[in-house]
Amino acid sequence: MTELYNIALEILGNGKGILAADESTATMTKRLDSVNVQSTSENRLLFRETLFKASAMKDCIGGVILYDETIKQISSEKNTIPKLISSMGSHPGIKVDTGAKVLAGSSDEKITEGLDGLRERLKEYYKLGAKFTKWRGVYNITKDFPSKLSICSNAHALARYSAMVQECNMVPIVEPELLMDGDHTAKDCYQKTSEVIKKCFEELILHKVDLKGIILKPNMILPGNKSKEKISNEEVAKLTLDCLKNSVPSEVPGIAFLSGGQSEIEATENLNLINKINNTNFIMSFSYGRALQQSALKFWSKNIQDTEGTQKVFNHRAKMNTLAAQGKWSKEIEN
């Protein structure tokens, strides 16, 4: 199992983080529609390949999460995408859940599916070059949610998934995402995130998952996006660190935050502040989707052949987050 621990450290060590490029075709189509680019498999590949060949891949991106379509695509140099990512010194990963569906028994909540046939799919992905995987459980915050049913059933699925992934020699990313949507306070987010994460670890331990060979991908502690409450970034960092300190077992090597709808700068600034006060042994880094790709996508959409220009935008964002993962980012460097 030290092998998995080492992979986790290679992905998140030295300020590196993860590029979450695993948008499903439906989500990627929404992203491309928003910048008026047609969502064809060629265009999805072209944008992603442009990022995967950027120089920041070498110093800032320790792992890339792919979607099923992308892991099977071939680059313009006739390389497989996992080989291209490995050649840049980064690890290829794969999203293996099949999405969040209506939870029977609590129809306003979701349960993530994909356990049936998972072992066979994992073996295939491993052969294709994947070194790590992702499964996302998703939870709403309201007065009544997440319900005990959603907390227990998603934790169970995350644990069964993780045990199988480790059996197949890959590092599972455990992602319980409490959504930012709603009018809840930061305190609500703190309490519910803590409850969800604690339950996840209870199940991971029950399923004999080696905690040294996983990466946790949590949300930061924020007030809901419709909340009247406004708190400072310093407060976000303090609450986030405190929540994780109290709910994550010390064996876990690394925590890689999702951006969850924060702006690019917010996600960088909050990560930086967390690292400035990080007095734990956890590596605190990023596994951003939107917060790493938004500006690059916008730039690219204006001229999809402008590889260099697009890479420049992406390199900057990746570099800023690598500095933030070491507590070395500042507004002056940003500008």
**Binding site residues, ligand 13P, CB under 6 A:** 20, 136, 175, 258-260, 288-291
By C-beta, is 291 or 324 nearer to ligand 13P? 291
By C-beta, is 275 or 294 nearer to ligand 13P? 294
208 is catalytic: no
Least distance in Å: CB of 285 to ligand 13P? 12
Residue 299 phi/psi, 5° resolution?
-60, -50
Least distance in Å: CB of 291 to ligand 13P? 5
Which residue of the set 49, 217, 264, 269 is catalytic? 217
217 is catalytic: yes
Least distance in Å: CB of 292 to ligand 13P? 7
Residue closest to ligand 13P, measured at CB: 289
Least distance in Å: CB of 34 to ligand 13P? 13
By C-beta, is 145 or 257 nearer to ligand 13P? 257
- Asked if residue 146 has a cis previous peptide bond (ω within 30° of 0), the answer is yes
Residue 139's DSSP bridge partners are 178
Rg (CA), the chain: 19
By C-beta, is 79 or 322 nearer to ligand 13P? 322
Amino acid at 273: L
Which residue of the set 23, 49, 109, 175 is catalytic? 175
Provide the annotated active-site residues: 175, 217
